[in-house]
Amino acid sequence: MTSKDSIKTILYPNTLGIIDYFLSKKNFILILLSPKVSIDFMKILQKVYYEHFIQALPDLYYKKIDQEILEYYSLFLTNGVASIVENWFYHNLDESPQKISDKILNLLAVSLQNIYLEIN
């Protein structure tokens, strides 16, 4: 995971799959985002992303990552990805899954490359 292009190539299928899934559940997601619903869907989504990054980042690099670095990058990545997805949701999922996946991966690639440089 040293170059931005290799990072994007590796992560694209999974990212697109998640975004496609969200699009397939568009009506349900829009209901969950309604002010009439007492569930904070975005908070739940952020928690899922954060837990994913905390577990997945060390596996990506096959190295132990300092806990403080891991937490800060996980928070940063979580908030970035969740903000892109939330913005997409609030714009009625109007952009294509490919375009949203590209936006997410542009954010992730830079950060993941920086983690690699920081731990090596």
> Closest by alpha carbon to 89, among 28, 36, 39, 37?
28
120 or 39: which carries more pLDDT confidence? 39
Q: What is the pLDDT of residue 62?
A: 64
| Residue 111 scores a pLDDT above 60 | yes
State the pTM of this model: 0.86
Q: Are 114 and 24 in contact (CB under 8 A)?
A: no
What are 58-80's pLDDT values in tens digits?
777 767 778 888 899 899 999 99
Q: What is the pLDDT of residue 95?
A: 97
Residue 92 φ/ψ region, left for φ over 0, alpha for ψ in the -120 to 50 degree band, beta for the rest: left
What are 9-32's pLDDT values in tens digits?
888 999 999 999 999 999 999 999
